[in-house]
Amino acid sequence: MQLSAAPLAAIAAALMLASPLAAQQAKAPPPPPLVDDAAATATAAAALEAAPVFDGHNDAPGQLRSRFANQINAFDFTDTLEGHDHVGGEGGAMHTDLLRLRKGKVGAQFWSVYVPHNANEAAAIQQTIEQIDVTKRLIAKNPDTMRFALTADQVESAMREGKVASLLGMEGGYSIGSSLAVLRQFHALGARYMTLTHNSNIPWADAATDAPQHGGLTAFGMDVVREMNRIGMLVDLSHVSEDTMMDALDAAKAPVIFSHSGARAVTPHPRNVPDSVLARLPANGGVVMVVALPRFIDEDIRQWDARRAGELARLRVVHLGNPDAASAAMTTWLAANPEPKASIGDVADHIMHIRAVAGIEHIGIGGDYDGMPIGPAGMEDVSGYPALFTELARRGLSQAELELIASRNILRVMRAAESYAASLAGQPPIETLITSPVAAE
């Protein structure tokens, strides 16, 4: 899920990015197709029939909280487009429902039980439990089409029966309240990955989009990674700083994931994975599940954001004391400078780069649908995955390669994490001192 930063910080960051050189850089033309449309479509369809998409990150549970306050007894997840004239954004339909998951060939989904960053970690723990509850209730309400899953074998069994295997992923380490005991209990509730941070630093880990505080992971943060490995919970490094990525890879004994990230060499957003980290993935065995969020995958949009922030700051100075005039002038600027649109080709560019640096065995799909305003053109919602796989087939990827990206790589990672945890079955939990005071009666 992508949230806006503080206005001052956003403007400062945008001005730093808006260099004349960057502004002049033109997007490279798309590569010529290696495979004709009919053959590419057939290859993609065969791949997704054999290996449906296992998506690493979907924020529909957050939509249930924000739209319906988790009151879902009367909620119909079959077709959330009904009653809406557009998808996403203000007043738009959700990106996800059962009909579009089927159209998108999604066979398994990590549902994000995200809650906003909260320094009051006790409140974050409660809210995360509420999100686990509403997600489990959503799955239970739709037994003909969804099945709760905890293991790779259960995922494959559900997919064979044509159901959407449904797993839980936590997003933001503040949700464990700096407690390994709480971490273990979330795993017992069914959480099968945890993103170590969200957009802000936490007491034991640095985020990608915050000023460095710890230089990566603290000693406790390293213990979090080790304990996640011990219990078989996937370590998710989307959202974390490069130093945190490196520290986690140093500590990890099982493959890591990036549940929804792109390649920083293609789009230099701090949320994306640098080549220095991609180069380490083969040794670790992990996967980058490539995101569809436009600002993470398209540099033209990032540069437009920078120009917009700069213009807004300029107009506030020019029209000091007259916010209505500044707003009117900004409306005129936006009309003359429309926001660029990301494309399916942008997503494919990130996949092809990760393939070149880390290898085909280290790529997955993590759209971030319902955690952004709207996806790229042609992939506005979860129904667009076949179009992406057709584009990858046009670029010469084989059916076997597409199957790896769709779900076989992440299933391998899950099995490796499960196997490593099984090998430590006799090892006791990592214990840390409880630092918060306990009131005596």
Name residue 222's amino acid: M
- Identified catalytic residue from 171, 227, 370, 380: 171
- Identified catalytic residue from 95, 187, 239, 269: 239
- Identified catalytic residue from 117, 187, 198, 353: 198
Nearest to 40 by CA among 353, 404, 386: 386
Catalytic residue status for 368: yes
User: CA-to-CA distance for 414 and 411, rounded, in angstroms?
Assistant: 5
User: CA-to-CA distance for 258 and 144, rounded, in angstroms?
Assistant: 30
CB 326 within 8 A of CB 250: no
Catalytic residue status for 55: no
Catalytic residue status for 153: no
Catalytic residue status for 350: no
- Identified catalytic residue from 57, 214, 350, 362: 57
Buried b (16+ CB within 10 A) or exposed e, 37-64: eeebbebbbebbeebbbbbbbbbbbbbb
| Residues present in the chain in total | 441
Catalytic residue status for 171: yes
Catalytic residue status for 59: yes
- Identified catalytic residue from 95, 117, 260, 350: 260
User: CA-to-CA distance for 160 and 142, rounded, in angstroms?
Assistant: 17
Buried b (16+ CB within 10 A) or exposed e, 377-407: eebbbbbbbbbbbbbbbbbebebebbbbbbb
Classify 85 as helix, strand or coil.
coil
Which segments of 276-350 are extended strands (E)?
287-290
Distance of CA 323 to the CA centre of its chain: 36
Catalytic residue status for 269: no
- Identified catalytic residue from 121, 223, 368, 403: 368
User: CA-to-CA distance for 429 and 231, rounded, in angstroms?
Assistant: 9
Q: So which residues are the catalytic ones?
A: 57, 59, 171, 198, 239, 260, 368
